[in-house]
Amino acid sequence: MTVPHTHPILKNAPNPLEAEQGRPQFIVVLYSSRFGQAMRIAQTMVQELEAQGHMARAQALGAQQEWPADCQALVLVASIRYGHFAPAVRGFVQRHARQLASVPSAFASVSLTARKLEKREPQNHSYTRKFLAQAMLLGWQPRWCAVLAGALRYPLYGWLDKQMIRLIMRLTGGETRPDREVEYTDWQQVRAFARQIGAGVDAPVFRK
């Protein structure tokens, strides 16, 4: 298992700001998910963060997502489809780079290519590396980064998606039988990433 770590090209991330006294502290896990795996990953991260004593919640990333008003730390979990993140992901970073830079923040990409262990290192995953470079130009340097394996859900795909993904799987040595579902996500890696984030966020607030 590859344990997620601070991305090597993001060495000078801004120091997190202290939470305001008396205000609720939430770690908000925003997710961009097409077939549900990034959502499940976000929900698992929330469970792990709550187990550490943090108040956390998962929330779907909207097309014009506003900055969460009660956010003390933010995690962005985004799936990759045909080499690209959803436009809402870049849009959120572009609109809210200043807020992202002012709180502890993390980024996790979810990809079928990460079913191969060597692709779970951010520096070895070209789509993630490219996105992080673009985010840096916009002013965001997430403190933590991970590349997480997704899931193959042929029964959920439309005809065109099914054919495209089968071709990609054939070229990369993956599952091509159109009736199969394969979950590649390493849940131990997901939980370890959440624990790493939780340990780096100050003063967890316990639910009363």
**The two structure tokens encoding residue 66:** 């506003």
Give residue for tokens 């959502």: 39
| 100-132 tens-digit pLDDT | 999 999 999 999 999 988 989 988 999 999 999
| 166-198 tens-digit pLDDT | 999 998 888 999 999 999 999 999 999 999 999
pLDDT band at 204; cut points 50, 70, 90: low
Helix, strand, coil shares of the chain as percentages rounded to 5?
A: 40, 20, 35
Q: What is the mean pLDDT of the chain?
A: 87
Sign of CA dihedral 141, 48, 109, 90: negative
Q: 137-175 b/e with 16+ CB inside 10 Å = b?
A: ebebbbbbbbbbbbbbbbeebeeebeeebbeebeeeebb
- Closest CA relative to residue 152, chosen from 176, 131, 183: 183
> What Å distances lie between residue 91 and 2, 62, 86, 104, 127, CA to CA?
30, 10, 9, 19, 17
pTM of the model: 0.84
Domains of the chain, first to last: 26-150+185-200 (3.40.50.360), 152-184 (no CATH)
